[in-house]
Amino acid sequence: MKLLFIGDIVGQPGRRAVGELLPKLREQYQLDFVIANGENSAGGSGITPRTAEEIFSAGVDIITSGDHLWDQKEVMELLAREKRFLRPLNYPPGTPGQGSGVFEVQSSRFKVQGLLLVAVLNLQGRTFMPPLEHPFLLAAEEVKRLRERTKIIFVDFHAEATSEKIAFARFLDGQVSAVVGTHTHVQTADEQIFPGGTAYLSDAGFTGPHESVLGREIEPVIKRFLTGMPQRFEVAKNNVLLHGALIEVDDATGRALKIRRVTEKLKI
Strand runs labelled E in 27-86: 33-37, 62-64
Tell me the β-bridge partners of 119. Answer: 102, 153
Select from 18, 28, 2 the least CA-distant residue to 54.
18
DSSP state of 266: P
Instruction: Return mean pLDDT, the chain.
Output: 96
**Rounded to an integer, what is the distance from CA 66 to the centroid of its chain?**
9
CA dihedral (231, 235, 241, 245) positive or negative: positive
Residues 191, 260: contact at Cβ < 8 Å? Answer: yes
Distance CA 192, CA 200 (A): 5
Residue 55: count other Cβ atoms within 10 Å of its Cβ.
26
pLDDT at 267: 87
Select from 118, 206, 190 the least CA-distant residue to 154.
118
CA dihedral (87, 91, 96, 100) positive or negative: positive
Tell me what the mean pLDDT of segment 234-248 comes to. Answer: 97
Q: How confident is the model at residue 108 (pLDDT cuts 50, 70, 90)?
A: low
pLDDT at 76: 97
Listed by start position, the domains of the chain span 2-265
pLDDT at 115: 86
Q: How confident is the model at residue 106 (pLDDT cuts 50, 70, 90)?
A: confident
Tell me what the mean pLDDT of segment 184-209 comes to. Answer: 98
Residue 227 confidence (pLDDT) above 80: yes
Query: Nearest-5° angle of CA 187, CA 175, CA 130?
Result: 50
Residue 144 confidence (pLDDT) above 90: yes
Residue 100 confidence (pLDDT) above 90: yes
Please tell me which residue in 68, 158, 210, 243 is annotated as part of the active site: 68
Residues 180, 245: contact at Cβ < 8 Å? Answer: yes
Tell me the β-bridge partners of 256. Answer: 249
Distance CA 69, CA 73 (A): 9
Tell me what the mean pLDDT of segment 34-53 comes to. Answer: 96
Q: What's the per-residue H, E or C state across 150-205?
A: CCCEEEEEECCCHHHHHHHHHHHECCECEEEEECCCCCCCCCEECCCCCEEECCCC
Residues 256, 3: contact at Cβ < 8 Å? Answer: no
Tell me what the mean pLDDT of segment 123-145 comes to. Answer: 97
Active site residue 68: yes
Q: 197 to each of 33, 93, 179, how far by Cα in Å?
A: 19, 31, 11
CA dihedral (97, 102, 105, 109) positive or negative: positive
Q: What is the pLDDT of residues 52-95, one digit of tens each?
A: 999 999 999 999 999 999 999 999 999 999 999 999 999 999 99
pLDDT at 112: 66
CATH superfamily of this structure's domain 2-265 = Metallo-dependent phosphatases (3.60.21.10)
Residues 77, 49: contact at Cβ < 8 Å? Answer: yes
Residue 97 confidence (pLDDT) above 90: yes
Tell me what the mean pLDDT of segment 147-175 comes to. Answer: 98
The pTM score is 0.95
Tell me the β-bridge partners of 4. Answer: 34, 246
Select from 108, 127, 125 the least CA-distant residue to 116.
108
Residue 113 confidence (pLDDT) above 80: no
